[in-house]
Amino acid sequence: MFLKAEIDLATTMLDIAKTTNDDAHRTRLLESIQGAIDTVRYFEKQIADEHQRLKFQQGADELEAAVRRFESGTLT
């Protein structure tokens, strides 16, 4: 499903954001990551299978938490 690809790509973008020294590039990456999270949140509501829906909710939650940690300077 494309939602898994969205989460995987956004995770890769976060990894890149963690290593770039270019502030403008980092900002664009973080904006793209938020767009991916928003996309997953929009479409996850339409998944009938509860197990699959919860899996994507969890993936978006984990990614969002990782972004918050990164933005606050806590990279763990």
pLDDT, one tens digit per residue, over 27-40 is 999 999 999 999 99
Of 1, 10, 5, 2, the C-alpha closest to 62 is 10
What pLDDT is stored for residue 73 in this prediction? Answer: 87
Mean per-residue pLDDT, 12-16: 98
Mean per-residue pLDDT, 38-48: 95
CB of 10 closer than 8 Å to CB of 62: no
pTM for this predicted structure: 0.90
Identify the band that residue 1 occupies on the pLDDT scale cut at 50, 70 and 90: confident
| Dihedral of the alpha carbons of 76, 65, 38, 46, in degrees to the nearest 10 | 120
Residue-range domain boundaries for the chain: 2-72
What pLDDT is stored for residue 28 in this prediction? Answer: 97
